[in-house]
Structure 1
Amino acid sequence: MASASVDKVQMSGGTNSTTQLRLSSGNGPVSRTVLKTPLRDALPSEIPVIDISGIFSASRDARVNVARQIRDAATNNGFFYIKNHGIPLEIPETACEKLLEFFRQPREIKERAHISQSKYFNGYKPPKSQRINPFESVDVRETFSWTYDPRHDPSVPDPAAIASHIARYLRYEDFYWEATENLPGFKEAIVTYWRSCLAVARALVRSFALSLDLPEDFFAEKFTHPDAALALNYYPPLPRPQEPAEQGEAEVSIGSHTDFQLFTILWQDNNGGLQVLNRQGQWINAKPIPGTFVVNIADYMQRITNDRYVSTVHRAQNYSGKERISMPFFFGFNLNESCGVLDSCVGEGGEKKYDEISCEEWVQRRARAMHREGEFLGK
């Protein structure tokens, strides 16, 4: 494990030691300077709660108001909560209940859905099989995951009619549903949750376009069959360390990382554990807020916005003493699509920091980096 260097910085009139946090990126290993200050809860100014009911309004002013708040959050810490999103409370709660039923089964039953049967990392990933950050511990979690399936997308009338240049990038399978048929209602609950997130994500893309001074339908052709996946995580409790540890010394529920594509919509249970690295280099808690989801910007969004929108490092450490469920929904353009830096994100006389890259190539680059830099069996 790489050692972390420590230096001193002056902040708020005092002296705080710092450490270097290493993690994977699409451009190789990178590092962040992290303050070795006690973990604290996020302030509303750091991770705001945004009422997104306006994105469903016929009023353009209401839609622009939401877009303006999204822009403020995306250019700050890249994280925000959403409320009044239109997803009934019972949908994520039912999915969570069904996941607990699945994860509490004997391992030999869960392994009927093992990823070894998948071409795309779909299915069940057992304990000690994932390490999202090669410079930290193996993730202390189990996961059930699956990728976009047009057969469950209400906007796709005939999956068999999908054009070949799109269909060849789709990565859906059936074995994980067949392996969970012993749990009545499991598939229905998970698919219902996925569809609900998909509907909100498609509405949010229009808001993101507005937030970037673009027409609302600017991205419409790029997410007809999106890279929309679920990673349904089960985190057993971790022992709380007596004092802050250097990177690699303490166990993590899921290691420090950024997400791949445009943005993530996360439902988390009430036990907490999500931590965000703010702009000052301090770890802060993104505590559960009933009735909300957490949204965070991902790497591809940061690229196409020329670094205006921030893909922020985050991790999870479950110190609640209880088992924890989180249900992140990852959303991005179709894998056959490509997007360069947006002209609206390049100021007068400025330059585009990134070359155009296809979504498939970007996702594969990120995954290869994790394979190359450490053990990885996951995203």
Structure 2
Amino acid sequence: MVTAATANPGADPKTTQLRLASGNGPITRTVLQTPLRDASPSEIPLIDISPVFSDSLGERQAVARKIHDAATNTGFFYIANHGVPSDVTDDACAACLDFFQQDLDTKMRAEAKNSPFLNGFRAPDKQRINPDEGTDAKEAFSVMYDPRIDSTTPRPEDIPEHVTKHMRSEDHPWETTANMPRFQEAAVRYFKACLVLARALTRAFALSLDLPEDTFDAKVQYPDCSIGLNYYPPMPASKTAAPNDPDARPSLGSHTDFQLFTILWQDSNGGLQILRRDGQWLNARPVQDTFVVNIADCLQRITNDKYVSTVHRVQNWSGRERVSMPFFWGFGLHESCGVLDSCVGPGEERKYEEIRCADWLNKRIAHMLDLDEDEDNGR
């Protein structure tokens, strides 16, 4: 719904209402109908995180303070000098293009619907992360955490049963793409590099909250994490993602991520957009040799809303194919999550109860399905 502004040139801009799922159920955000603009360095800062690998606690704390500032502002930041070699990301991107440029019948052999854990290929025109914005114009390939590729874990057979019952690893993604051995090799190499980086960032986030840096180590020993290999065909620039517009066709609809944080590699074509708290859409343009990191719902929850899980979407108006490779990172599903004592100030209350991470994930997914059902029922 668009709210009309008065004829006064100085009047407030027009707005629309955007519905989306969140960690607290379906919510509505007011979106300014002002032109899309590029984010400034203060809105999405670039942080050199090389000191997180330093032996100096002071240097690690200095980076953590910058992360704290970004997490309490827009909830997005770029990271440079992150330790992931460019050949790892380049090879993964090239392997993605090789896979997605195959004919559809070949790709469908790896269809995620044939996996009990939804590992594998998701076909075009089948996903709509935000029902109000229509069907997403993308293809994807998802791979869940597999302890067999994690050098920090014991032998899989030695992992406790209460942990393994929540794991969603399997051979389906690779058995069904055996015609492309390079695809598995490049994707696994990228997954391994992201595991190392995510654990380092987890410690930095602990420091950013004035906690001992090993506070979350046990909770991510067997993480709930995955990679999404995304392929976006070019979209006409005339097609916006206006809520409730039946002609809208987003590349990826407006949403927030579920877990602690996401590490995103994106190619040079651009398309990622974030929504400021005041309702302004911003371009998160690619910055060479960086990842984008964004806060997700679970981290907002355990920080009592101190850290911001920011709404974002994708519109590939570049006129070219776009590849992105998000790495989603969270506590193990056998763990629990609750508001941290350090995030409850004097006179404040905990906004959220302690909950098992598996129950939290199911609750978050249910909120997304509720939004979908509302749309299907015309509400």
Q: Report how far residue 242 of structure 1 moved.
A: 7.0
Equivalent residue for 2:376? Answer: none
Alignment of 1:1-379 (within 5 A): 4-6=1-3, 8=5, 14-241=11-238, 245-248=242-245, 249-374=247-372
Q: Is the 8 Å Cα contact of residues 133 and 242 (structure 2) preserved in structure 1?
A: no
Q: Report how far residue 119 of structure 1 moved.
A: 1.0
Q: Report how far residue 14 of structure 1 moved.
A: 4.8
| AA in 2 matched with 1:148 | Y
| AA in 1 matched with 2:355 | I
Equivalent-residue separation in structure 2 for 1:199 and 1:17 (angstroms): 45
**TM-superposition CA deviations, 1:107-127 (whole Å, max 9, x none):** 110011001211122110001
Equivalent-residue separation in structure 2 for 1:353 and 1:5 (angstroms): 32
Q: Secondary structure at the match of 1:355?
A: coil
Q: Is the 8 Å Cα contact of residues 36 and 244 (structure 1) preserved in structure 2?
A: no
Q: Is the 8 Å Cα contact of residues 26 and 368 (structure 2) preserved in structure 1?
A: no
Equivalent-residue separation in structure 1 for 2:186 and 2:268 (angstroms): 19
Q: Secondary structure at the match of 2:12?
A: strand
Equivalent-residue separation in structure 1 for 2:194 and 2:178 (angstroms): 23
**TM-superposition CA deviations, 1:29-86 (whole Å, max 9, x none):** 1011111011110000000000000100001110000000000000000000000000
**TM-superposition CA deviations, 1:198-256 (whole Å, max 9, x none):** 10100001010001010010111101110110111100011111778444342101000
What TM-score, normalized by structure 1, do the two folds share?
Answer: 0.95
Q: Report how far residue 366 of structure 1 moved.
A: 1.6
| AA in 2 matched with 1:335 | L
Moved over 6 A (4+): none
Query: Residue 103 and residue 72 in structure 1: after superposition, are their counterparts in 2 closer, same or farther (change >3 A)?
Result: same
Q: Is the 8 Å Cα contact of residues 240 and 250 (structure 2) preserved in structure 1?
A: no
Q: Report how far residue 16 of structure 1 moved.
A: 0.8
| AA in 1 matched with 2:349 | E
Q: Secondary structure at the match of 1:197?
A: helix
| AA in 2 matched with 1:48 | P
Equivalent-residue separation in structure 1 for 2:239 and 2:126 (angstroms): 27
Q: Secondary structure at the match of 1:139?
A: coil
Equivalent-residue separation in structure 1 for 2:241 and 2:298 (angstroms): 32
Alignment RMSD? 1.8
Q: Report how far residue 358 of structure 1 moved.
A: 1.6
Query: Residue 7 and residue 362 in structure 1: after superposition, are their counterparts in 2 closer, same or farther (change >3 A)?
Result: farther
Equivalent-residue separation in structure 1 for 2:99 and 2:301 (angstroms): 37
Equivalent-residue separation in structure 2 for 1:291 and 1:322 (angstroms): 20
Q: Report how far residue 148 of structure 1 moved.
A: 0.6
Q: Secondary structure at the match of 1:186?
A: helix
| AA in 1 matched with 2:150 | D
Q: Is the 8 Å Cα contact of residues 7 and 19 (structure 1) preserved in structure 2?
A: no
Gaps of 5+ in 1: none
The percent identity for this pair of structures is 58
| AA in 2 matched with 1:166 | V
Gaps of 5+ in 2: 374-379
Equivalent-residue separation in structure 1 for 2:241 and 2:199 (angstroms): 40
Equivalent-residue separation in structure 1 for 2:211 and 2:243 (angstroms): 43
| AA in 2 matched with 1:282 | Q
Query: Residue 166 and residue 243 in structure 1: after superposition, are their counterparts in 2 closer, same or farther (change >3 A)?
Result: closer
Q: Secondary structure at the match of 1:165?
A: helix
What TM-score, normalized by structure 2, do the two folds share?
Answer: 0.95
Q: Is the 8 Å Cα contact of residues 134 and 370 (structure 1) preserved in structure 2?
A: no
Q: Secondary structure at the match of 2:127?
A: coil
Q: Report how far residue 302 of structure 1 moved.
A: 0.3
| AA in 1 matched with 2:56 | S
| AA in 2 matched with 1:154 | S
Q: Secondary structure at the match of 1:329?
A: strand
| AA in 1 matched with 2:281 | W
Equivalent-residue separation in structure 2 for 1:84 and 1:349 (angstroms): 40
Equivalent-residue separation in structure 1 for 2:43 and 2:253 (angstroms): 21
Q: Secondary structure at the match of 1:256?
A: strand
Q: Is the 8 Å Cα contact of residues 76 and 279 (structure 1) preserved in structure 2?
A: no
| AA in 1 matched with 2:320 | K
